[in-house]
Amino acid sequence: MAYLINENCIACGDCSVVCPEKAIDDGYTYNTVGEISSTTDVVRDGAMESSGRSVWQGYRITGACTECGSCVEVCPTGAIMKR
């Protein structure tokens, strides 16, 4: 992942919409019955390890990122930057 989303993110979702690889995660975990729970809940319940971040961040870029830059172009706050 060559990009990261900083604290200027307003969680508008534009980056997630334009990503051709769907590599931008909205921070929620969806289970098979359609219920939504925060990633924090999933970590607490032991289904997933913590990322070590102390502050919840609305969107995050996953390993599926191909560094195309589409997200950078649409971000209204400039919150997406190269590492």
Average pLDDT in the 58-83 region?
92
Is the predicted pLDDT of residue 57 greater than 70, yes or no? Answer: no
Give dist(CA 16, CA 22) in Å, integer: 7
Range 3-82 has CATH code 3.40.50.970: no
57, 78, 67: which is closest to 14 by C-alpha? 78
The pLDDT of residue 2 is above 60: yes
Percent with pLDDT over 90 in the chain? 39
Contacts of 20 (CB under 8 A, 6+ apart): 66, 68, 70
pLDDT over 80 (residue 4): yes
> Residue 60 above 90 pLDDT?
no
Confidence category of residue 48, pLDDT binned at 50, 70, 90: very low
Whole-model pTM: value is: 0.65
